[in-house]
Structure 1
Amino acid sequence: MSTPARDLSRARRRRPFDLRATALYFALLALLLCALGLTARAAAAAFERRPAWIAVLCLVGTAAALAQRRRRHRRCAQRAAHRAAAALDAATRTAVEALEAPHPPGHSPVLPPETVTDGPPAAYDAGGAVDHDALDPDEFEQTIAALCERDGCSPVEVVGGAGDLGADILAVTPDGRRVVIQCKRYGATNRVGSEDLQRFGGTCYTVHEADVAVVVTTSGFTAPAAEYAELCGIVCVDRRALRAWSDNTGPAPWICQG
């Protein structure tokens, strides 16, 4: 029967018991405890003899600790402030460089919201006049409202939208008449028909109480639409009349009814 071999490596790792080192460790520990006890006893005796001095020393120590803590916090706050100032300075330099950098052809810098002005858009043709064909329906309404203001109407209100009952612009002429305008931003070949005029004629006087009812279009009117407008007293402003009104070479629509 074989005997199992002993693990020599594990046996080597075990340290032999050293009586001298153990005695020295406990002796040092006893001395440390005695020193702490004597210090505590001396402090208690001193406190009994002069409690005011001990209280002062405690207060001074507490104040010193608090001051040290505040200095650390102040240094941390100063470092944070320096980092924030450096970041702000870097961001400012980046913004200035972006504003001063030349813009590529075909691009323009974006204006901040407060520099964007209200009113009709700046769409002009080669002759310098407003190109109404380049406007969308909302811009066309704004442009017509601007013409009313230019010719002395006040107030002028753009009310076009869902549920407007045919009125896109409401205005009051200089002589106090109420003008109700419907805008038709159509293509040159898409003329305003009689159905459009009939829908407008059913509301312009009875609902909006117009003194002057006007339909302005970028195209023209069919013959039935023109007949209906003449019958109901609606002023029709076609493409040619609109251009003359815009250029100040023709009368405003309410002048025709003056």
Structure 2
Amino acid sequence: MTAPTRPIPPVNRRRRFDLRSTALFFVFLAVVLCVLGLAARMVADAVERRPAWMFVLAVLGVAGCVGLRRRIHVARAARRAAAALDEAAREAADELDAPQPRPGRPAVEAVTDRGTLAAAEFGSVADQGATLPVEFETVADQDATVPLEFESGTDYDGLTPEEFEEAVAALCARDGCSAVEVVGGAGDLGADVMALTPDGRRIVIQCKYYDVSHRVGSQDLQRFGGTCYTVHEADVAALVTTSDFTAPALEYAEQCGIVCVDGEALRAWTDGTGPRPWDTAPGGRTAGWDLAGAGS
């Protein structure tokens, strides 16, 4: 049985003339021309009435076009630079991932207090099969905590505030404190030195390196009193200064249980002729030294 075939329409068949579509096209064209003519007339009237404003608008329009064009150029340049950086990063990563030839005797890269070592004289630790001496430490080994060592005859007047904190910490270590830390700096919340007293109490010290004419006021004590017990969980809180304390500061310290060590008491502590701050705190008082400060 033969299937019926459909007639194939001719390829070059012409479209029939549509009067309605043609009329609508010419109407739309006439409306566009009228709108353009009206806009041109409005622009001409505006130029005639206010030429300065139209000149300013024209300048702004030209500037906007120029700025847009520059932005396009800048964006293209930025894309090209980003692509170049990406390509360079990929090349660097490929170089790092590539296997490096192992030399027969690699040099040890070490930095010491005495300067840079002659790398050719020393092979790697693995090749030598031994540990390098202490004086040939790497940078990572130098990050270990250096034990505090107090120097007798310390002149507090010639120190910087940072050196004063280290000197107070060294005093604590000299007198038997353990786990001594200098934690002063930005965000220390009032704690400059922390340690454990010989009897196991946690002492928190704030250091005030002031001139003799600048006495520690009650505001300094209030800021320290707001954090020493609640934040740092101190058993003993002390404020050590090279200067002196005002009467309101001593009164606040006595109410809050903060030991105040002025310049005279600090020198006595240094010379060993006066008590240590934890000796005057509750539970470790020394006769003749009240809670608000020794020798003040």
Of 119, 123, 132, the residue aligned with 2:156 is: 132
The separation in 2 between residues aligned to 1:175 and 1:119, in whole angstroms, is 20
Structure 1 runs of 4+ aligned residues shifted over 2 Å read 117-122
The separation in 1 between residues aligned to 2:221 and 2:159, in whole angstroms, is 22
Of 196, 212, 223, the residue aligned with 2:236 is: 212
User: Does the 8 A contact of 2:268 with 2:274 survive in 1?
Assistant: yes
**2:166 paired with 1:165:** no
1:129 offset after TM fit, Å?
Answer: 2.2
The separation in 2 between residues aligned to 1:224 and 1:120, in whole angstroms, is 35
What letter corresponds to residue 250 of structure 1 in structure 2? Answer: G
User: Does the 8 A contact of 1:120 with 1:139 survive in 2?
Assistant: no
The structure in which a higher percent of residues are helix is: 1
1:130 offset after TM fit, Å?
Answer: 1.3
The residue number in structure 2 matching 1:254 is: 278
What letter corresponds to residue 221 of structure 1 in structure 2? Answer: F
Unaligned regions of 5+ residues in structure 2, if any? 1-134, 138-145, 285-296
Q: Report the TM-score when normalising by structure 2.
A: 0.45
The separation in 2 between residues aligned to 1:225 and 1:192, in whole angstroms, is 7
The residue number in structure 2 matching 1:87 is: none
What letter corresponds to residue 245 of structure 2 in structure 1? Answer: F
1:113 offset after TM fit, Å?
Answer: 11
Cα deviations by residue, 1:160-195 (Å, 9 ceiling, x for unpaired): 000000000001011110000000000011000000
**2:241 paired with 1:223:** no
Of 164, 176, 183, the residue aligned with 2:207 is: 183
Of 220, 226, 233, the residue aligned with 1:202 is: 226
Q: How large is the Cα RMSD of the aligned pairs?
A: 2.3
Identity of aligned residues (%): 69
The residue number in structure 2 matching 1:143 is: 167
Q: Report the TM-score when normalising by structure 1.
A: 0.52
User: Does the 8 A contact of 2:149 with 2:174 survive in 1?
Assistant: no
For the residue of structure 1 that corresponds to 2:228, the secondary structure is: coil
The separation in 2 between residues aligned to 1:229 and 1:215, in whole angstroms, is 9
For the residue of structure 1 that corresponds to 2:245, the secondary structure is: coil
For the residue of structure 2 that corresponds to 1:155, the secondary structure is: strand
Cα deviations by residue, 1:112-160 (Å, 9 ceiling, x for unpaired): 999xx874686xxxxx721101000110000000000011000100000
Unaligned regions of 5+ residues in structure 1, if any? 1-111, 123-127
Cα deviations by residue, 1:190-232 (Å, 9 ceiling, x for unpaired): 0000000000000000000000000000000011101000000
Paired residue total: 142
